[in-house]
Amino acid sequence: MEKPLDRYSRQLLFPGIGEDGQKKIRQSRVLLVGCGALGSNIANNLVRAGVGKITLVDRDFLEINNLQRQMLFDEDDVAASLPKAVAAANKLRKINSEVEIVSIVTDVNPSNIEALVRDADVVLDGTDNFETRYLINDACIELGKPWVYGGVLASYGTTMTIIPHETPCLRCIFEEAPPPGTTPTCDTAGIIGSIVSVIANLQGTEALKIMVGATDRINRGMIWIDVWDNSVEKIQGSKLAPECPACVKGNYEFLESKEGTHTTTLCGRSAVQVSVRGNPSVSFPTLAGRLESVGQVQYNEYMLRFLVNGYEMVIFPDGRALIKGTTDESVARTLYARYVGA
Ligand SMILES: [Zn+2]
């Protein structure tokens, strides 16, 4: 027998959703890639709203400095060193036992993304790096699944909703990812918790609109908000870029792993190599300037050495890095995304 909808009574009263909308939400399957700052907020929102199924995928473990902005977690989760996807699932099951919650601790990559996306009605971006976002973009365009991009840093954030072949995709707007080492990350520029909640809640609302079929209401462009400056901008973007490699030409370069970062474990050395294809060039003075506040940095013309939290990262001008102190490729990719930025 179908479960009653009483717990959603306030949401049913909202004309944009109503009883029909609530039933559609209950039938919907969500894939959430990344369960950190944006992801934990999005999951909280959508599980309370009563989605049918949510799959949480994350490669990271909890640290104490996550609690400032990752609203689902507490000190017990950190003390237990739980993976974020697992800690989130435990909490979400207590919030709404009607929702089917699947947690997967893995690095989303070209070999597993299509299966994950195929099983979803809508995909949400809770990641912190462009490599994974381009991969989500490729898989969603190829499989015709709507997805909601979100990015946050310092006090500002952006979000954009992508309906494949109907609204501009991520590569229509940013054809290439910024080269490694050129953009700040939240580990170098910092972040305040409120912007995370703002962007995550916009992303969650866009997903609900997609689930209930209110695609006439979605954000067809890009919303940019700075909560410290009180500025809000809406950039209209209704047309696909005529030369877009993904949604116009159908070249799924990230899915085919022709671009992006690749990792190799270096046997017997407790180190992982992270390499970037496409020969980017890293400016050591710029990168060192960003990293000085978070760890110990030294460089010469051949390499930059960075010590942080017991890891040693050696970065080369072609964007390649050797990360010592781990043999786990997911940890190495996380450190690379966090400090070099890709
Ligand atoms: Zn496109």
DSSP assigned state of 191? B
Tokens 């994974």 sit at which residue?
Answer: 132
The better pLDDT of the pair 311, 261 is held by 311
The backbone region for 54, taken as left when phi is positive above 0, alpha when psi lies in -120 to 50, beta otherwise, is: beta
The CA 176 to ligand 1 mean position distance, Å, reads 12
Give a three-class secondary structure readout of 6-37: HHHHHHHHCCCCHHHHHHHHHHCEEEEECCCH
The CA 236 to ligand 1 mean position distance, Å, reads 15
> What is the rounded average pLDDT for all residues in the chain?
91
Tokens 């085919």 sit at which residue?
Answer: 256
- Please report which confidence band the pLDDT of residue 342 belongs to, taking 50, 70 and 90 as the band edges: low
Phi, psi (degrees; rounded to nearest 5) at 123: -120, 135
Structure confidence by residue, pLDDT tens digits, 268-302: 667 888 887 666 788 999 999 999 999 999 998 87
In angstroms, rounded to a whole number, what is the distance separating the alpha carbons of residues 311 and 290?
17
- Please report which confidence band the pLDDT of residue 168 belongs to, taking 50, 70 and 90 as the band edges: very high
Average pLDDT of the segment spanning 161-181 = 89
The CA 152 to ligand 1 mean position distance, Å, reads 22
The CA 251 to ligand 1 mean position distance, Å, reads 10
* Tokens of residue 41, six digits: 């907020």
Encode 302-312: b = buried (16+ Cβ within 10 Å), e = exposed.
ebbbbebeebe
Which residues sit opposite 298 in a β-bridge? 305
pLDDT of residue 222: 93
8 A C-beta contact, residue 91 and residue 72: yes
- Please report which confidence band the pLDDT of residue 267 belongs to, taking 50, 70 and 90 as the band edges: low
Which residues sit opposite 273 in a β-bridge? 264, 322
pLDDT of residue 247: 93
The CA 166 to ligand 1 mean position distance, Å, reads 9
In angstroms, rounded to a whole number, what is the distance separating the alpha carbons of residues 288 and 198?
31
The CA 241 to ligand 1 mean position distance, Å, reads 6
pLDDT of residue 279: 60
Q: Would the pLDDT of 179 be above 80? A: no
Inter-CA distances, 20 with 10, 13, 97, 292, Å: 14, 11, 21, 54
Structure confidence by residue, pLDDT tens digits, 136-161: 999 999 999 999 999 999 999 999 99
The CA 86 to ligand 1 mean position distance, Å, reads 34
* Tokens of residue 224, six digits: 């940019």
The CA 243 to ligand 1 mean position distance, Å, reads 8
Tokens 């960003």 sit at which residue?
Answer: 290
Average pLDDT of the segment spanning 237-249 = 90
pLDDT of residue 273: 84
In angstroms, rounded to a whole number, what is the distance separating the alpha carbons of residues 98 and 3?
9
pLDDT of residue 277: 65
Average pLDDT of the segment spanning 31-47 = 97
pLDDT of residue 319: 85
Residue 145 CB partners (closer than 8 Å, separation 6+): 117, 118, 120, 121, 122, 123, 139, 164
- Please report which confidence band the pLDDT of residue 51 belongs to, taking 50, 70 and 90 as the band edges: very high
pLDDT of residue 196: 97
- Please report which confidence band the pLDDT of residue 180 belongs to, taking 50, 70 and 90 as the band edges: low
8 A C-beta contact, residue 261 and residue 276: yes
Share of the chain above pLDDT 90, in %: 69
Q: Would the pLDDT of 337 be above 70? A: yes
pLDDT of residue 284: 93
Query: 148: burial class by Cβ within 10 Å (0-12, 13-18, 19+)?
Result: buried
90: closest CA among 72, 115, 114? Answer: 72
pLDDT of residue 206: 98
* Listed range (61-75, 180-194, 244-258) with the worst mean pLDDT: 180-194
Residue 233 CB partners (closer than 8 Å, separation 6+): 223, 224, 225
* Tokens of residue 39, six digits: 């992801």
pLDDT of residue 236: 82
- Please report which confidence band the pLDDT of residue 35 belongs to, taking 50, 70 and 90 as the band edges: very high
Residues within 5 Å of ion ligand 1, judged at the Cβ atom: 169, 171-172, 244, 246-247
Average pLDDT of the segment spanning 94-118 = 93
